[in-house]
Amino acid sequence: MEEAANKKEMIKKLQQDILAMQGFRAVLDHNRRDTGLGSLEHAFPNQTFPVAAVHEFISSTVAEAAATTGFMAGLMGHLMQQNSTCLWVGTGRQLFPPGLKAFGLDPDRIIFVDLQWDRDVLWTVEEALKCENLTVVVAELEEINLTESRRLQLAVEKSRVTGFLHRRNPRKIDNIACVSRWQITPVASSLQYGLPGVGYPCWNVDLQKVRNGKPGKWQLQWAAGHFKHAIPVKVETQKNFIPQAV
Amino acid sequence: MSRRYLTIWFCHLTTDQLAIRKPELKGKPFVLAAAERGRMVVKACSAVATAKGIEPGMVVADTRAILPDVEVLEDNPLRAEKLLRALAEWCLRYTPVVAIDLPDGLILDISGCAHLWGGEALYLEEIQTRLQSAGYKVRAAVADTVGASWAISRFGQINPIILPGAHTDAILQLPPAALRLESGVLARLRKLGLYCIANFINMPRTALRRRFGTDLLTRLDQALGTAPEQIDPVQPVVPFQERLPCLEPIRTATGIEIALRRLLESLCQRLFREGKGLRKSLFRGYRIDGQVQQIEIGTNQPVRNIEHLFKLFQLKISTIRPALGIELFLLEAPVVEDLSVQQESLWAATNQEHTAIAGLLDRIAGRYGAATIHRYLPDEHHWPERSIREASCLQEKSAIAWPDDQPRPVCLLPIPERIQVTSPIPDYPPMLFIYKGQIHKIRKADGPERIEREWWIEQGLVRDYYRVEDEQGARYWVFRSGRYDDDKSEWFIHGFFA
């Protein structure tokens, strides 16, 4: 019996070692940053949202891109401490800074770099990810290949910066060296019966891949400055919808 | 520090240049003449013509009498100045301060420059050989004052380099014409038997002033160095400038990098001593074929960090075309700002973050232009397009907080796009809308939020914004431009909510 317990502990220890070798440092409780994802964090190695890593987000429509932006903004609002700065690099940016305030992110802490080509974005992102004083670097681009993503991964391993790659409408979804792949799609917001108007932002969060973790699907909503698990509400009374003015 | 001046005299400036341009004139007697009071008067004559006794100021008919086969060409009065200006710009490789001295000379302030060429003798020889091999007959001299070096270059017989402090003795034996005097004064001096400067230099100043005017005294003082003489540089002097001449022409990128690093080291040392940091810097390479290659960088805040500046320049080194080689490198900082030592240490302690980020932004701006970087602050306008303004620098804070009382989309279309809607009831959101050929049936809606046009800025229709959610769950920001009962009212989509 004791032997079995020993074995279990040993396996756990070895797993920890493997994770450490792969660059996932065990985070001490006091400098652990709350991402507000709640039970979703169990999907990640060490039950922690990997900070020094590049996360990939995929969106195929404009509405999905907006949902992804909102989700990323919510994450960034939690990751970025007071006075930290974020770089937002991309081509053809549509982001409207005042809209980020609702996600707990001060838009003036973001520096935008608007470029013309994906290859320029890649150069800038790589340089930015090497800069330890940034907290988060967001890149909006279409295509990236394995080699290019590998360079970004190497950069964050040294500097411990978090990278978000938002791939808008990519032609091909292939394997790249990112720690996770997310797809955020908007879902109808839920409201208590009879209340007019549009509810809190609500998304289907599809964690398609995560290195050393368990992929999964959740429904989250952004309410009062935090992620919350949405209670799936049955489609109610929407067939005979009458527009409601507030 | 004592100043040193070098004066170059082009003995036959315009004619030499013509001979360079038209080789068939070389070695032939020719004069440049212009009409003056109905006669053709010689303005300049070539070396061969001078040897035959032709002088400027003669009438062309007289020169024909002396030398029947003399060629007479039209003179352009602006040619000399244009040519001198070009030569002065060429001379910038030897010193930053070059002034033109009409009608036929250049004045170079060479204080602190000659040692780069290994001493004044080598420096002077280099300039003279270069000009002479180009085809100009020149005489040059170095002295402590502009006046003395001018005198020696025109009339000196012994040594063109006058050692510091020796210029008074050197000009004693020269004729009064060496003092740049008017012809009337010169004639009077000659009439009185004062053939060299030594004859009258010790005379009482009052006597000299009475007989020859104040001009003589000023010129004398300028030559002796007791009166100041300002020269007017062809190019404004950049206070922060470093130069590096090369013994062998540099053709490789590695060579250019070494040169750049050495220049940066000395420039940053100077900036440090004077408590400055640069905001803009130029790196120039003078090629052997006379072309100048240059790259330019700008920074977001005053900098004097060698590594950082080197990185900024390094991004652009590949644009330098060395061709046959670069013989002189020049680094200048035309825009500098105060950067105290305390400030720097303060930055390192508390604001290191900003310095590192500013460094990153400099590199991005250096590669893609400063226009690609934006940071926004809230502005006091309700009109969505005007609700943000661009921050001018990295640290700027806004006086007002970001508004969060009304929902704003995360994505905003730069220009609202027209949509077709079915809206049954006045002042109610539409039932459905068609955007890019797709029908979106609206399930939930919020609104309207009326945003009036700011009449003091522009005239136009009001907007009634609705936040709507379609059956897929996607949330949009749509508005009706104009009032419902208005014929001109139209619907637009303006943004996307998360």
Q: Rounded mean pLDDT of B163-169?
A: 84
Please tell me the pTM assigned to this model.
Answer: 0.60
Report how far residue B331's alpha carbon sits from residue B244's, in angstroms, rounded to the nearest whole number: 9
The answer, for B458 touching chain A at a CB cutoff of 8 Å, is no
Confidence of residue B219 (pLDDT cuts 50, 70, 90): confident
As a whole number of Å, the end-to-end CA separation of chain A is 66
Chain A residues near residue B447 by CB distance under 8 angstroms: 245-246
Confidence of residue B352 (pLDDT cuts 50, 70, 90): low
Q: What's the confidence (pLDDT) of residue A235? A: 45
Q: What's the confidence (pLDDT) of residue B353? A: 63
Q: What's the confidence (pLDDT) of residue A234? A: 47
Fill in the DSSP letter of residue A238.
-
Please report which residue ranges of chain A form alpha helices under DSSP H: 2-21, 62-79, 118-129, 146-159
Tokens (6 digits) for B178: 């060496």
Report how far residue A30's alpha carbon sits from residue A49's, in angstroms, rounded to the nearest whole number: 15
In the CATH hierarchy, which fold is given to the domain comprising A51-229?
Answer: Rossmann fold (3.40.50)
**Where do the domains of chain A lie?**
51-229
Q: What's the confidence (pLDDT) of residue B484? A: 75
Report the mean per-residue pLDDT for chain B: 84
Give the 3-state secondary structure of residue A115: strand
Chain A residues near residue B471 by CB distance under 8 angstroms: 188, 238
> Is pLDDT above 50 for B21?
yes
Task: Of A226-240, B102-116, B298-312, give the lowest mean pLDDT range.
Answer: A226-240
> Is pLDDT above 70 for B177?
yes
Which has the higher per-residue pLDDT, B438 or B341? B438
Which has the higher per-residue pLDDT, B30 or A140? A140
The answer, for B446 touching chain A at a CB cutoff of 8 Å, is yes
Predicted confidence (pLDDT) per residue in B47-57, tens digit: 888 888 888 88
Do the Cβ atoms of B378 and A98 come within 8 Å? yes
Q: What's the confidence (pLDDT) of residue A185? A: 92
Burial class (CB in 10 A: 0-12, 13-18, 19+), B37: exposed
Report the mean per-residue pLDDT for chain A: 82
Q: What's the confidence (pLDDT) of residue B342? A: 53
Predicted confidence (pLDDT) per residue in A63-86, tens digit: 999 999 999 998 888 888 767 888
Torsion angle, CA of B81/B82/B83/B85, rounded to 10 degrees? 80
Task: State CA A213 to chain mean position distance.
Answer: 15
Q: Rounded mean pLDDT of A100-109?
A: 87
Confidence of residue B216 (pLDDT cuts 50, 70, 90): confident
Question: A169: distance to nearest CA of chain B, Å?
Answer: 16
Nearest CA in chain B to A238: B443
Tell me what ipTM this predicted complex has: 0.83
Confidence of residue B159 (pLDDT cuts 50, 70, 90): confident
Q: What's the confidence (pLDDT) of residue A122? A: 92
Of the candidates A99, A142, A96, the one whose C-alpha atom is nearest the C-alpha of residue A121 is A142
Of the candidates B27, B19, B28, B33, the one whose C-alpha atom is nearest the C-alpha of residue B61 is B33
Q: What's the confidence (pLDDT) of residue A123? A: 92
Nearest to B404 among A87, A102, A131 (CB): A102
> Is pLDDT above 70 for B291?
yes
Q: Give percent of chain B with pLDDT exceeding 70.
A: 97
Residue A151 phi/psi, 5-degree rounding, is -60, -40
Domains of chain B (ranges; CATH) run: 5-149 (3.40.1170.60), 241-368 (3.30.1490.100), 411-497 (no CATH)
Confidence of residue B345 (pLDDT cuts 50, 70, 90): very low
Q: What's the confidence (pLDDT) of residue A238? A: 44
